[in-house]
Amino acid sequence: MSKLEISVSPADDLIDVPRRIVVRGAAAGERVEVASSTLRAGGRWHSSASFVADAQGEVDLTLAEAVDGDYSGVSAMGLLWSQTPQQPGRREVFHADVQEPLVTTLTAKAGEHSADAELVQRLCVSGVTRRPLREQGLVGTLFLPAGDGPHPAVMILNGSGGGINEARAALYASRGYAALALAYFKAPGLSDYISNTPLEYFQSGLDWIRRNLKPRSDFVAISGQSRGGELVLLLGATFPEQVSAVLAYVPSALVHSGQNAADPAIGREGPTWLLNGQPLPHQWQNNRTASWQPFDEGPPPHRHALAMLTALQDEAAVARARIPVEKIQAPVLLFSAGDDGSWPSSLYSKMVSDKLKEAGHPYPVEWQDYQDAGHSILFPYVPTTQLSYAHPVSGRISTGGGQPLANAEADRHSWQQALAFLQHAVAAHISKKETP
């Protein structure tokens, strides 16, 4: 029997819960290697790091510095965020069934001895229910918390990859929110492209939530990332009385054209959003300086943000495309990335924050800018190593930017901030509703 032991505490919990991983039984000063292996959406992901056991023959990953391997320094969950796929190019880190837990095998080795342990991450706590939504033209998935309601609600919107963001909705439900992940393209029964998407579709989604879920104190927040971040700001400004809080991840301050998710028949400079059947003016429209050249030329991975910066030089076009965020009647939370390869989310978020401040926005406005992070800000303790990708619609090889450690820190901190922001927004909303 091996003298080594490896423990995980807690061994089985939600994905956003940090774990303490400790190896015991090594010799003082002995080199200890700890490896991880996780099956994610049918593909195996791996990582490993080496440590030096302390005077008691222990390696506590919350304290011990990795001296070699897939990450360096001290990071309690480094073995998870530093994982890379065995099959190059894979990016999906969650199972298709988000109710299926992610099981990571941890293996510690010191000399001739070894020990194993399991670390289980869940997106759903016991009692969370999942229900597909296919009503009134709406396509999505509803996750409801365990226990009797009513619960505050969140509508989750994806970015230019389209589809249904079940993972985020499941985690919101596990934290007490009725969560509707609403698709608007690239999902069954919907267009394959983002072009000419009517904003009234999302208004119908908000109406459906209120009518069918009767949220606590009528609280309905909207959360979106990337094009979804642009969208939630736009929805908050367009339907202010129906939005109780806005969480915008790596958003735009401007309405954009279809870009990489556009219908090829319409083109990437065609409109994205319609209101009352009419296209909204967008950044690329009649823009004298906009050029795709910095994005299109040069070797992959391409940085989409370089093209977006050319369009910002035409002040008149920017003014026409600006989202009127001052019309939002709710708290706003912005997350941006200083090394965003997809578009300049830090600059865009500053534009939003500055405009709300200038307008004397009467609700809380929070802005978290992660200087060295990239476009993909998710939630804690998932792999952050795959910086380049083939866009799910255009297929173009691009980079979201950032570095794995900075991206991992943005993942962790942003989710903590999102939960705190929502908690405060719900409390303020309830207080306002109950005040005579």
Distance (Å, whole) CA 67 – CA 420 = 35
Burial class (CB in 10 A: 0-12, 13-18, 19+), 336: buried
**Closest CA relative to residue 374, chosen from 350, 348, 409, 349:** 409
HEC string for 58-73 = CEECCCCCECEECCCE
Distance (Å, whole) CA 325 – CA 311 = 20
Contacts with 354 (C-beta within 8 Å, 6 or more apart), sequence order: none
Catalytic residue positions?
A: 226, 340, 375
- Per DSSP, the three-state class of 349 is helix
Contacts with 31 (C-beta within 8 Å, 6 or more apart), sequence order: 50, 51, 52, 53, 110
Return the amino acid letter for 227.
R
**DSSP secondary structure of 264-319:** TTT-TTS--EEETTEEPP-TTTT-SS--SHHHHSSSSSB-HHHHHHHHTT-HHHHH
- Per DSSP, the three-state class of 428 is helix
Using the Cα atoms of residue 415, residue 223, residue 207 and residue 97 in order, give the sign of their dihedral: negative
**Closest CA relative to residue 66, chosen from 93, 38, 35:** 35
Q: Is-contact 300 225, C-beta < 8 A?
A: no
- Per DSSP, the three-state class of 254 is strand
